[in-house]
Amino acid sequence: MTFLNRVPPGGLLLVILLTAGCSDSDRTAENSAAGPRVPPPVDTPDSAAAPAAGVNSAIRGLVKHQPAAVWEYLPRSWQQELNSLVRSSASGVDERVWNRTIAVARRGVKLLEDRQSAVFRNEALRQILTRDGRWEEEEVRSHWTAITALAREVLSGPLASHQAMQQFRGKEWLQQSGPAIVEQFAAVSALDPADPFGNLSRVEASFVRMEGQVAVVRITSPRPGEAASDFQFVEVEGRWIPDNLAAGWPVFLDSAQQRVRQFSSAASTIPVDQALSRLDRIESVIASLEETRTQDEFDQVLLADVILPLGAAVMALEGGRIGPAAGNSPPPSGDSPGTSEAPAPAAGDTPGTDAATGNTLPEKTVRVVIAPAEPSGQLSGPLLRRIEEQLQQLGDSDDTDLQEGSALPGQTVFLVSPVNDLAKFAKQIDFGQVTKIEQATRTVHVSLPATGTAPPE
């Protein structure tokens, strides 16, 4: 199977287009006339060379870091639909929330750039970034700089301005700032031995024949030694487009519009003040990490304010269930070590509702987060089996459903259902100390003793 069979013609171009469309320089749209002008890829729609000329023009533009050539490759109505899609994504979000979110994200990216060494010295993060050792650490490190630079470039563009996004014009943004984005994209690609972007210069399209209203175009593979492949192109508004891309465009557009509507609907359920307050908390965590002076300090802040809350969020997304937890904090100082007495739920929490997003959670399902005393501890053998048996016994059914959920390194997560009374369920857990109950997300956090004592038979 050739490269272009795996990635349909135009698919890679559209991915790069949509990525590049999220960047801008300090110049305004009115100054776009000063940007590079990319001629339309097709001189005459009825020309025999037109089907191949469009592909070649778009690819040559990308190779020269001029992604506006890809925009010119698209039919006019597609350009308008993409512009509308981007504008709609901004219209559904409050301007203050949008701008503040991007500002916090930019600060976070800068932290990842400045504290790269501390990130890779943290055991939990290193496991995540290397996929538990399946990726070489040096390879991940080499990509780190290029990827964070790409993120910084993207966040410096129109994404940073709610007003700019509402007036988005793809061609103008690509002419002004697309070259810088593609340059960073190329830098990331160059770190891959296959260098898919760099090998675009090998791609050449040539017209083969017409079959009625369909043009057959032969496209060479970017990989040395792979044979060229023939593809069918159809004419759409004077542009010759791969037939599978033309057929799939309405489906893509409908799906994208649905996602924008869902995004806007979800954003509208969160009060602006509440959203800004959450962003304040996130920025305070970033500030705390920025202020750390030693690896131990960095690790402690990361564990308390990032790793544990992120673990709760991952669990809340298990099986497509939306509802990231607000966080996970250690038990109050008054708690006695080793007791299984469950703390009371936080005031104001509504059962079955995620306090963080307002989304309704699946009824009668409980998430049990088990954290061994040692950060690197893993449950296995008799201990794991006994915990599973007890959780099944605590469910409110003779056929209690018990599933293992996603978790961060050092944690084990179970999804138990049905459970009618969360507090009663938590109080009966005796294989460890219940450190926190999140009524809103129906999550119970349990810490095992340092000795890893198994629950009673």
Q: Which DSSP string do the residues of 6-67 spell out, in sequence order?
A: HS-TTHHHHHHHHHHTT---SS-GGGGGGSPP---S-S-TT-TTHHHHHHHHHHHHHHTT-T
Residues 22, 164 share a domain: yes
44 and 160 assigned to the same domain: yes
Residue numbers of the domain that contains 363: 321-447
Residue 196 lies in a domain: yes
What is the number of structural domains in the chain?
2
Phi, psi of 91 (to 5 degrees): -65, -25
CA–CA distance, 72 with 361 (Å, rounded to integer): 45
Task: Name the amino acid, one letter, at 41.
Answer: P
DSSP H helical ranges for 269-380: 272-291, 295-302, 308-316
- Residue 452 covered by a domain: no
| Together in a domain, 110 and 205 | yes
User: In this structure, is residue 250 part of a structural domain?
Assistant: yes
Query: How many Å is the Cα radius of gyration of the chain?
Result: 27
Q: Any idea which residue has 């190329």 for tokens?
A: 186
205 and 90 in a common domain = yes
Does the global pTM surpass 0.85? Answer: no
Q: Is 112 domain-assigned?
A: yes
Q: Please check whether residues 129 and 250 belong to one and the same domain.
A: yes
pLDDT tens track, the chain, 457 positions:
333 333 333 344 444 333 333 333 333 333 333 333 333 433 333 455 688 898 999 999 999 999 999 999 999 999 999 999 989 888 888 899 999 999 999 999 999 999 988 988 888 777 777 765 666 777 778 788 888 888 888 888 777 888 888 888 989 888 887 888 888 888 888 877 888 888 888 888 999 999 989 999 999 888 877 888 999 999 999 899 999 999 999 999 999 888 888 888 888 888 889 889 989 989 999 999 999 999 989 888 888 777 776 666 555 554 443 333 333 334 333 333 333 334 444 333 344 443 333 444 457 889 898 886 444 445 666 777 778 888 988 888 777 888 877 666 667 888 898 898 888 999 899 888 888 888 878 889 888 775 444 444 4
CA separation for the pair 93, 271 (Å, rounded) = 11
Flag whether 345 is in a domain.
yes
Same domain, 236 and 335: no
The dihedrals phi and psi of 193, each to the nearest 5 degrees, come to -55, -30
Statement to judge: residues 440 and 349 lie in one domain:
yes
> SS3 for 451?
coil
The residue from 210, 230, 258 where one domain ends is: 258
Q: How far apart are CA 104 and CA 99, in angstroms?
A: 9
Residues 230, 326, single domain; the answer is no
Tell me: do 150 and 244 sit in the same domain: yes
Last residue of a domain, one of 209, 236, 258: 258
Task: Give the rounded distance of the alpha carbon of 457 from its chain centre.
Answer: 43
Where would I find the H helices in 198-326?
243-268, 272-291, 295-302, 308-316
82 and 187 both lie in a single domain: yes
297 within a domain of the structure (yes/no): no
- Of the three residues 258, 284, 303, the one that is the final residue of a domain is 258
In a domain, 367, yes or no: yes
Q: What pLDDT was estimated at residue 312?
A: 60
- From residue 244, how far is each of 19, 203, 330 by CA, in Å? 21, 19, 54
**Is residue 299 assigned to a domain?**
no
Co-location of 27 and 121 in the same domain: yes
